[in-house]
Chain A
């Protein structure tokens, strides 16, 4: 179907043809024609954010929780630059986004016009791909290509920069059919010979471990189902990165908990001592590996990833398989079944015995108190009181994020939205808004810190405008807790600028926005306060006053190996963590 229309109308038409129902954005001079086209239709619903960074994170939350492409629309200049943190976040966590930016008219480009910036130049490094559309003839193709690139292969953000005169120009619109990209055709099927070899290695393994990541979630619910099947068939233990939580259920018998810097003792030790590591959709980043030259020294490593550049980037692997997780897992499950392979039961039994020994250390245990709320306890209660509901969790970044990852247990994929790679404070609230729009009847909780939440607090207005009942659960310890913890570890407890001075009264703040505010600092009343939050049919800010001195443990200190963790000490004396990291480690982030 080809029709004559303006560039602005093409944008909206393409969004409809791509099945977009929800988009986020903020208007401005250079996108007014597109806003006018949005105004004249009902299929694509636009949600007005209060800052363009919020639009990007909301689109991420929407995409991550629904498996669809997230869409945002911002104006030129500051609109585009404000969106950049969100685009970079999506790039690092492989979230599919299409970001449409307005641009000054083509004849003004390069003249330092009002609200002009070199959007494609600036976003080249923080997108998977980007376009400046100079001719109306190219617009329909680019619009559809952008969706294809954002969602195929390793997903990521794509920017389309459209000058205002192109938005006004008339042209011929063509639909998404016949979009065949001449250079970008990522390989989804893994090589059969390699998969066969992988299955044979698995059958011979004595101390195997699955190490899975966000790629399994990106690959769709089918990948998670196949992963569960393969874990069950083999009986191997499984751990996951922060981004991969939920692909294997936390209640599953083979679950070791999260690995990495704040992972469990059993997960990290299993990684260190294994003889076969099967990495699926995970990228061996520094939060996972710790000290690289001491990373899992005695293991053979199989690495399944859709992005060839992930292979051998940080860790040299023995058997790479380039392909989509779901496709490769399907082949692995089938081969395991048909070849009649069996895991080495005897070896596996003693491996599990060793793992149980590590588990018995109870690395996630924490001290309880009847005077102050321990942050871990707050998450634990939140989990217990929400797990039987249709719940989605987002987070900001810091201690609360790690406590949430450790103490909130996920049974399904796409239920956990967090900023992993970039570590963006201010992600959680706008992401929760995106999640709530994708799942209107669900309970959506942003587990936050009192510092992070202030980074995008303006999005409260968005939540209220659209009556989105998001719950913001603030673990308020009056510190940028992770910064404080690192200052204790590395800088002699000199808490430079990490105290949250002059905090707002969060209950009154909720009130000011028209939301409901709750404050609780008493462990005895925590449950009823959480129930009040759950039962409030509108947005809630919950100011949960927690122990300000609690450190997030266990922890692999920077520059240390998986088997050199700091574990929580449950005696009354807090561990002296100030002397653990050596000078070399202090150089690291």
Chain B
């Protein structure tokens, strides 16, 4: 979202640079050493943004991992990112879930809040409203587990801040397309 604004250059293309969009890419890769470094290195080497990145093996016997990347850029840059990813040899497929338009995004966060008295009650009340679970509690703190779209987690974190937010750990976005078909 906050893409750095580069100074206009005579080499820069006539293509408009203003319409920066956020896209979620689902990338299936061979789970082999270095494959994540190839993907991350591509982004840093070519100056693309990474807003969120998650990776885990999804097919154990075939050694296939799924990387979900949230990135931002103009539609031209997003298209270029897709093609550049496809050049990486151990990549099976690259799908732009935002272009496909029907994907579900979820993220999990653990939110630590410290407080006493009235703040404690308020934290519990808000957590209930957000359907967050208490997964650890002491006499002066809670850890909440919350799952949802990234915006919901942002909202929850913001609302906990005045109450006594200590720290947040987020997993990054996982995404999948709706319906019966494979992403």
Contacts and interface: CB of A to CB of B under 8 A. Distances in A.
Interface of B: 9-15, 30, 33-34, 37-38, 41, 45, 76, 79-80, 83-84, 86-87, 89-92
Given A291-B11, A587-B9, A183 B80 contact: no
A313 interface: yes
B13 A120 contact: no
Interface in A290-330: 291-293, 307-309, 311-316
A309 B80 CA distance: 6
A184 B11 contact: no
Contacts, number: 67
A573 interface: no
A495 B88 CA distance: 43
B14 A293 contact: yes
Specify which of A311, A312, A315 lies most central, judged by the most chain B CB atoms within 10 Å of its CB.
Answer: A312
Contact of A128 (B15, B33, B89): B89
B89 A184 contact: yes
B41 A125 contact: yes
Interface string A164-195: 00000000000000000011100000000000
A316 B87 contact: no
Nearest to A291: B10
Contacts of A560: 10
Interface residues of A, number: 32
B80 A316 contact: no
Contacts of A312: 76, 79-80
A57 B162 CA distance: 63
A337 to B, nearest CB: 33
Nearest to A289: B11
A124 B35 CA distance: 10
B89 A129 contact: yes
Contact of B13 (A132, A292, A307): A292
A308 B86 contact: yes
Nearest to B81: A309
Nearest to A130: B34
A309 B48 CA distance: 15
B12 A292 contact: yes
Contacts of B45: 125
A129 B11 CA distance: 29
A588 interface: yes
A315 B76 CA distance: 10
B139 to A, nearest CB: 45
Identify which of B13, B30, B37 gathers the most chain A CB atoms within 10 Å of its CB: B13
